[in-house]
Structure 1
Amino acid sequence: MPPPSPPSPMALSKHSQTASIFRKRAVSPASAASYLAALSQADASARARTGIAQSFTTTPALSMSSSITSLEDTESLDATVNASEALVFPMRPPTSAQNFTTRHTEFGHCAEPTFRTTSFHPIGIPLPPSLEQDPPYYILFSTYISYLILIVIGHVRDFVGKRVYPASYRDLMPRDGYASLNSDFDSFYTRRLKTRIDQCFTQPVTGVAGRTIMLLDRMSPDYNHTQILTGTRTLALNVSSYNYLGFAQSDGGCTDAVEESIRRYGIAALGSRLEGGASDLLGTAEALVAKFVGMEDAMICSMGFATNSTYIPALVGKGCLVISDELNHASIRFGVRVSGAHVRMFKHNDMANLEALLREVIGQGQPKTHRPWKKIMVIVEGLFSMEGTMSDIPVLLALKRKYKFYLYIDEAHSVGALGPHGRGVVDFFGADPRSVDILMGTFTKSFGAAGGYIAGSKALVDRLRVHGQSGPYAEAMAPPVIAQIIASMASIMGVQGAAPGVADGTYHHPGPAPVSALPAWLRLAPELASGAESAERLKRLAFNSRYMHKALKRLGFITYGHPASPIVPLLLFNLGKLSLFHHLMRARALPIVVVVVAYPGTSLTTGRVRFCMSAAHTKEDVDEVLRACDEIGDLLDLKHGCALEERWTVEECTQRAVDLGSA
């Protein structure tokens, strides 16, 4: 059969006049499955028509233009992936100026110097407030109505199901003299609302969650009560992982350090036990963490959630007061609840409300007795994971000096991702880290490892080692995980002597790490040891974050958070749109994996999708996400942002990316 003839120039010009592939559909699809199939075909044909040019200084974005992968990328793809559905890459080797050492599937190659910016906040300039826009009333009304309809249908199904299919409700009904195992009322939301969109969550994957991610395809024959793997796989662009600096790699300097730790400490290194010289590795890591964040001492916990929930009770107790931001993480809430301390909450990131609350609690003292509080501790997050907002650190420190409380900052999402040196939100604002009493963070985001840390004065950390519950009761961190932490952290810091003109000597924050602070067997590649590669990653992350945030606003979407935040929430509001947005992103010719969040992770009417930006993404990757959002936003009626700025087309956003991504 002869190949089809190319479309005429007149036909191409006619197609180019249509701004969205979703406009003017002659026939509605018969089912959701046929609609998604038609959508994928339309997207593929639209991409073929536009033929977007690639920059010569950037490795091309994910593409459907070829059915052959390069030899390097072939190693990261499974043979079971259908060649017609897998994401593949045009064969274009790096130039002499592009000596890349990572797979393009795991870390996007980009040598364009204009796609860089520095993450910092000018000292002395007030932090602008984060304005949360409200959608039109009909959006809120339809959202409430949709929940009401689902609740009514759910109760009707429960009423009928308990009588027709009693075996399906055994755990919710008393039987044989036993009370019900689960509460009917407490599990109603999970059974009747969340189950409807369960395909958006807990997606099985395999391999590295880097720039791309390999999904194990699944289907459900019983309305998401069970999921069955189909045996096929899909390689998709990943904007759903907290891989901020792109250290989620299967090869490279950090991976070499992990492999060396396994060879050095043996098979026992794969477990959670520290024996012999492995215990020295933990001490080395804790000393390096203290230098990295600029504190006197630090201690490591094998689980990030447990870092908050087990060490906060060792800091406060009965007779103490904890003042917590209303949007603090569940681990903080759990730790405060277990501690027995009295807790008050202030409005999210509202420093005026916090000061008014401080005046009240200091003046009133403890309830009933009105005695002075034994201790007052304010707990905030540096970067809030659901909102993308930052705590106003300069104002918090000013209030701390005025009212003499202890300040606890959770930097789980900000450490390694913010600041010109990657040292977190304190570095972002140019503040002295030792003006903060307790810095907490995790290694699961920017460092590509696991666990968390507490950093502070030596006296404080020594007390926590004895009284914290994770110390005597939890397992120690495995040596390969510790090796990943040390290697990635040293890469961000740089190593003294590796960079020209920097000699090994006394450590000065935020300087490079002394050679004596690293294991003797650790050998980082020159580009990592000098800190040059990680500095580029920090700048790429800052550019991608600002570009994505500002471009979505220019397109007319409602977004939350600070432009420098690598977490970019886009408001969808309606529960039904969450599932459909997820499906439409994945059903494109270039599949995109996103994270949707609904109640109770958010308020009832502020369901959203969170884009997690990474240094591993290229500018072309962000362009693809923006084009997908633009088309789906028109289809689902999502563009309700206030017209404070002139709206741009998606092509104008991509062409003026440098203006949007600059600080």
Structure 2
Amino acid sequence: MHRTKGKLPGLTAGLKDKLIQRALERKLQQPAPAPVARNASSETPEEHYRFHLHPGYQQLRIINDGAAKLGVSSPFFKLHEGTAGSTTQIGGKPYINYASYNYLDMSGDPQVNQAAKDAIDRYGTSVSASRLVSGERPIHRELERALAELYEVDDAIALVSGHATNVTTIGHLFGPRDLVLHDELIHNSVLQGIQLSGARRLPFPHNDWQALDGILEEQRHQFERVLIVLEGIYSMDGDYPDLPHFVEVKRRHRAFLMVDEAHSFGVMGAKGYGIREHFGLAGGDVDIWMGTLSKTLAGCGGYIAGETALIEHLKFLAPGFLYSVGMPPSVAAASLAALQRMQQMPQRVADLQARGRYFLEQAKAARLDTGSSTGLAVVPVITGSSLKATRLSSALFEHGINVQPILYPAVPEKSARLRFFISCRHTEEQIQETIRTVSALL
């Protein structure tokens, strides 16, 4: 029987894709083999000391090999040849870009760039030590003061990694006698921090403060400290919690409340001050404000803002700060300049919010599945399978639109999607072109 290379005979392309995808899913869901009893003279299996036989790498190979059989190229690790904002250049070609969270176009802003250059000229490219011992520079304190003033709290601390900020803060402040409750869609960094802490972990349904209240009614008395963790805007879905109700719940049960503002700072509120401004809350209504410097603030790293006791505790004892080199002066200077530019130019915030609303309206009018997105900077288009999301991303790239797929296991397989990050610099014409192209390809 004649067989065409790389194809299954007698099957439609759609059925072939489904069969291969199901085979991949079954392979990934197979349970790990039970440990084999060995006597003292037995040899250690090769998979126990070879990285290429590690189960995680084997799963990666299954996914990549399956994609290669379907002729689907990897959408990851694209090389941008300049500043990535609403547009970018890849492989010498221009693209409408939805794959960068440069929300207020501060990365590449001339004044932000100049602030970073000036800091290098004055302080060098590294502080060359932990800030506690000899790595402190005035620019660090200036950035932290500005953040504390914006949140209307006592103080703030800036760390070199946004992910590590959550890990070290939660991992250090809480322990085995404590409970951490988190939204079921919370970021991986929070989950890693809880695991490090040894605290009991309980998720609650997405944005459901009533379910959280019920869990605390049953569980609060069993633990010493209790932490509730939310996001200001959920990075996969583009929606946000009813924060005032969560504040009421945390007060009633005498718990701590932490809000991760990675995607809401610079995006929510008339001035971009985040979910606190959006709801008109006081800085002290939330115990731990967390955010990143890599999005609105055009740098790299994370911060915690709150009362003096919290910040002083972290500065002297949190391992992720104590044992890490201080933030490069150029990064701190760039983030401080971006914050000041945001305060000087609220129109960029207004433009971002307008473009996000427009994108969501156009997507819904085209009957695209945008889930629960509110149109605030993050809008998903849910495709229903990782294969479909990857193929759609690749096809859009061929049409001059750069947007990344979010695949299983980052989201459930049936919720695989493209995730569009909106910039204040996107035009209505670019958005119209994008929605038309997505609709046509789907």
Normalising TM by the smaller chain, what interval? 0.7 to 0.9
CA distance in structure 1 between the aligned counterparts of 2:369 and 2:17, rounded to whole angstroms: 16
1:442·1:453 contact (CA, 8 Å) conserved in 2?
yes
Deviation at 1:181, TM superposition (A): 3.6
Compute the displacement of 1:193 (Å): 1.8
Give the equivalent residue in structure 1 for 2:406. 597
Contact 2:386 2:406 in 1 (8 A): no
Q: How does 1:344-383 map to 2 (within 5 A)?
A: 344-362=202-220, 365-366=221-222, 373-383=223-233
Alignment-derived partner of residue 388 in structure 1: 238
Q: Does 1:620 align with 2:429?
A: yes
TM-score by length of 1: 0.58
- Does the aligned pair in 2 maintain the 1:146–1:575 contact within 8 Å? no
Cα 1:417/1:142, change in 2 over 3 Å = farther
Contact 2:127/2:136 (CA < 8 Å) preserved in 1?
A: no
User: Any unmatched runs of 5+ in structure 1?
Assistant: 1-29, 33-140, 156-172, 217-232, 367-372, 494-530, 634-663
For the pair 1:257 / 2:107, whether they are aligned, the reply is: no
Alignment partner for residue 570 of structure 1, among 381, 395, 405? 381
Whole-angstrom distance in 2 between the partners of 1:551 and 1:255: 34
Choose from 269, 272, 280 the match for 2:125: 269
Distance in 1 (alpha carbons) for counterparts of 2:202 and 2:136: 42
Matched to 2:61, the amino acid is: R
Q: Return the match for 1:455 from 286, 305, 309.
A: 305
Aligned residue in 2 for 1:113? none
Alpha-carbon shift at residue 585 of structure 1 (Å): 0.8
Shift of 1:142: 10
- Structure 2 residue matching 1:399: 3-state secondary structure: helix
Tell me the residue number matched to 2:12. Answer: none
Which runs of 4 or more aligned residues in structure 1 lie more than 4 Å from their structure 2 counterparts after TM superposition? Answer: 141-146, 151-155, 177-180, 182-185, 270-278
1:242 pairs, out of 101, 113, 116, with 101
Residues 174-194 of structure 1 deviation map (CA, whole Å, 9 limit, x = unaligned):
45x975445564434311224
Q: Distance in 1 between matches of 2:161 and 2:118?
A: 23
**1:278 and 1:479 in contact (8 A); partners too:** no
Secondary structure of the residue aligned to 2:414 is coil
Would you say 1:583 and 2:394 are equivalent positions? yes
Q: How far off its partner does 1:333 sit?
A: 0.5
Distance change in 2, residues 1:577/1:475 (3 Å) = same
Secondary structure at 1:605 match in 2: helix
SS across alignment from 2:195: helix
**Matching of residue 147 in structure 1 with residue 25 in structure 2:** no
Q: TM-score, normalised by structure 2?
A: 0.86
**Which of residues 124, 144, 147 in structure 2 aligns to 1:289?**
147
Return closer, same or farther for 1:566/1:264 CA change in 2, 3 Å cut-off.
same
What CA deviation, in whole Å up to 9, does each residue of 1:509-533 have, x standing for no partner?
A: xxxxxxxxxxxxxxxxxxxxxx1xx
Per the alignment, residue 553 of structure 1 pairs with 364
SS where residue 269 of structure 1 aligns?
Answer: coil
Partner Cα separation in structure 2 for residue 255 and residue 477 of structure 1: 17
Q: Alignment length, in residue pairs?
A: 410
Q: Are 1:213 and 2:88 counterparts? A: yes
1:632 maps to 2:441: yes
* Partner residue in 1 for 2:197: 339
Task: Kindly state the Cα deviation for residue 334 of structure 1 after the two structures are TM-superposed.
Answer: 0.5
Q: Which has the larger radius of gyration?
A: 1
- Secondary structure of the residue that 1:205 maps to in structure 2? coil
1:95 alignment partner in structure 2: none
Distance 1:200 1:460 in 2: 41
Report the alpha carbon displacement of residue 305 of structure 1 after superposing the two structures with TM: 0.7
What's the CA shift for 1:198? 5.5
Code of the residue aligned with 1:597 in structure 2: it is I
Residue type matched to 2:231 in 1?
Answer: E
Cα distance in 2 between the residues matched to 1:319 and 1:142:
52
Partner secondary structure for residue 427 of structure 1? helix
SS in 2 for 1:199: coil
Name the structure 2 match of 1:187: 57
How far has the Cα of 1:564 moved from its partner?
Answer: 3.8
% of aligned pairs identical?
29
Q: Structure 1, residues 54-85: CA drift from partner, whole Å, max 9, x if none?
A: xxxxxxxxxxxxxxxxxxxxxxxxxxxxxxxx
From 257, 262, 276, give the equivalent of 1:407: 257
Describe the SS at the equivalent of 2:383. Answer: strand
2:327 equivalent to 1:477: yes
Call closer, same or farther: CA 1:180–1:361 in 2, change over 3 Å: same
Alignment partner of 1:540 is 2:410:
no
Contact 1:246 1:615 in 2 (8 A): yes
Q: Deviations over 1:438-476 (max 9, x none)?
A: 100001011111111001001111111122112221110
Q: AA paired with 1:242?
A: Y
Would the alpha carbon gap of residues 174 and 568 (structure 1) be closer, same or farther in structure 2, given more than 3 Å must change? same
Whole-Å separation in 2 of the counterparts to 1:277 and 1:324: 34
Aligned partner of 1:313 in structure 2 is: 171
Q: In 2, are the aligned partners of 1:144 and 1:605 still within 8 Å (CA)?
A: no
Letter aligned with residue 59 of structure 2: Y
The residue type equivalent to 1:543 in the other structure is: A
Cα-Cα RMSD: 2.7
Question: Cα offset for 1:263?
Answer: 2.3
Check conservation: 2:126, 2:327, Cα contact below 8 A. Answer: no
CA distance in 1 between counterparts of 2:180 and 2:96 reads 41
1:566 Cα deviation from its structure 2 partner:
0.7
Contact in 2 for aligned 1:272/1:477 (Cα 8 Å): no
Distance of aligned partners of 1:374 and 1:243 in 2 relative to their CA distance in 1, 3 Å threshold: same
